[in-house]
Amino acid sequence: MVVLSGVAGATVALADDDGVQFRPGNLLVSRSVYDNNPANVAVGTQLPPNCVAPNCVAATNDGSYPYVWNNSLVDGSFGVTAKIVLDQLKPSGELINSLEVPNSADRGPLTKDQMVTSFPSKSEIALNLSTDGRVVTFMGYLAPVDALDVSNSNTAAVVDPTNPVPGSNYRVVAEVDEHGRFRFTKTNAYSGNNGRAAILNDKDGAHIVYTAGNAGNGANPQPNGIIIGAGLQILTVERNALVAQNPGLPTPVGSFNITQLGLTADKIGKDTNFRGLSIFNNVIYTTKGSGGNGINTVYFIDATGFDANGRPLACPNGVGVPKAIASLPATPIPYDASQLQTKGVVPYNMCILAGLPTNLAKKATSFPFGVWFADAKTLYVTDEGDGTNSFDPASGKYKAAAAQTGAGLQKWVFDANLRAWKLAYVLQAGLNLGVPYTVTDYPSGQNPKTGLPWSPASDGLRNIMGRVNRDGTATIWAITSTVSGNGDQGADPNQLVMIRDKLAATSLPAGETFTVIRTARFGEVLRGVSFTPGTDRDHLPDDHDHDHDRHADAD
């Protein structure tokens, strides 16, 4: 194992057969690092790479950070791939060590196992513990560092000829264990867009992965492979090296369509533009919070079967709560290929969680991202905000972000009489929504391409993780979303925050406030947060355990 000097005395390891040790009960945060190479893009370069007229535009900025992201203003598919680093932190936020995910900078050609992320893609590299807590899973691409527009490329077996990005890159699921050892699985899902999250189901001999993401970057109607490659997927974990893997067509495990609510169908395949991913009590939950199709809300897979009309038993009208006999799905949906272009992936086996929003995304006031169940009656949902970056020079704030009432951390409680969830309150104190903050070496003043300040401000929250403490509170960690004058707000240095909430409270308790425990540095973004691999999902340590550990370390 090659060990490099790290931040504040920590170590940074490059992954190889020796790995690096993660300690159960610590935090794991995914971080993307841009290499800030001006040569990544030359002014005037045609974008996307290898584009065909009329889909070509000229780059306005070179590869220098953060100015490079102004190219997003002319190329809607613009992105640059970057390294993924996994940081082990104490629950208080103190950095212990870091592990760099294998990439082309240290492994060379793509014939070796490796992966990257698209640096400005804000919804990528979510982290999730497996069902038995042994490993943490996340998603990326089989591509070299510094490749352009990969996040909107096709996959090898699912090619959309109308996609303005003609390149081809597999999406990849990664597993990392407590010793820092990696395994990778290729997939042809999410062609034209990105995989966002993955969870390994490894209980009782199972070895399958559930993934969430979006597909499609071309015209309507979309090819069949795009439609079946969106939303929630199920994969069998590979044991071969990436170069020896030859995945077939995508295998969807969950499907939803707004027609389940009696609404008129919209763009087939875009109702399942999913982001967050969670498992609780043998039920898979996901969220939709972006795009102009479908409904921005929280969903679950109903694996208990269908009624006589082919509708999910848990939600014949599209809205419901899971059945007590729920179990995790083990196979893909046996979809009817003849109906893909008219109805999408049928039969539909997903429901909107009762009580959560049901209004169309085009009229959305809710932008859910992460989901964490503290228990069967308490649900926390992050809302990332609407991304509006209007700025008020008089107050020095991004006024739309500062005025939001739903952005941040929403607490929902279950009403057993109504058989539905009710919003208890929204935690925002300490997030300083809309208030710009400074990052060392980041430019000051305004971005001339947008006329807005470079300095970012929090707009809400994205990925989330939490634990229940023995004193009746819940501690929640979350990654912030941002607004700014950057050409791509997904490339802003964002933050990791923490809050403690009274679990039994149904109205906003006084004095609860978020604390920023880490801010991304120049050329970095934070993405996912989880407990470290090897942490028992069913018996998470709380502050008392960590106090004991600190005393033990001192001895």
Residue 511's CB is within 10 A of a number of other CB atoms, namely 5
9: alpha, beta or left, given left = phi > 0 and alpha = psi -120 to 50?
left
The distance from CA 344 to its chain's CA centroid, rounded to whole angstroms, is 24
- Tokens at residue 211, please? 């993934």
Q: Is the dihedral of CA 270, 317, 348, 336 positive or negative?
A: negative
166 burial (CB, 10 Å; 0-12 / 13-18 / 19+) is middle
Tell me which residue of 209, 221, 286, 293 sits closest to 255, measured CA to CA. 286
One pLDDT digit (tens) per residue for the chain, 555 residues: 333 334 444 555 665 545 589 999 999 999 999 999 999 999 999 999 999 999 999 999 999 999 999 999 999 999 999 999 999 999 999 999 999 999 999 999 999 999 999 999 999 999 999 999 999 999 999 999 999 999 999 999 999 999 999 999 999 999 999 999 999 999 999 999 999 999 999 887 889 999 999 999 999 999 999 999 999 999 999 999 999 999 999 999 999 999 999 999 999 999 999 999 999 999 999 999 999 999 999 999 999 999 999 999 999 999 999 999 889 999 999 999 999 999 999 999 999 999 999 999 999 999 999 999 999 999 999 999 999 999 999 999 999 999 999 999 999 999 999 999 999 999 999 999 999 999 999 999 999 999 999 999 999 999 999 999 999 999 999 999 999 999 999 999 999 999 999 999 999 999 999 999 999 999 999 999 999 999 987 667 675 444 433 333 332
Q: Are 252 and 334 in contact (CB under 8 A)?
A: no
Give the total number of structural domains in the chain.
Answer: 1
Q: Are 275 and 297 in contact (CB under 8 A)?
A: no
- Tokens at residue 387, please? 């991304």
CA–CA gap between residue 490 and residue 483 (Å, rounded) = 9
Global pTM reads 0.95
40 burial (CB, 10 Å; 0-12 / 13-18 / 19+) is buried
DSSP per-residue codes, 493-512: --EEEEEEEETT-SS--TT-
Tell me which residue of 94, 250, 101 sits closest to 187, measured CA to CA. 250
Q: Identify any residues that bridge with 400 across adjacent strands, giving them in sequence order.
A: none
Could you tell me the residue range of the domain that residue 546 belongs to?
2-554
CA–CA gap between residue 464 and residue 14 (Å, rounded) = 26
CA–CA gap between residue 521 and residue 87 (Å, rounded) = 14
196 burial (CB, 10 Å; 0-12 / 13-18 / 19+) is buried
C-alpha separations of 445 from 35, 252, 436 in Å? 23, 46, 12
- What is the β-pairing status of strands 350-353 and 297-301? antiparallel
Length of the chain: 555
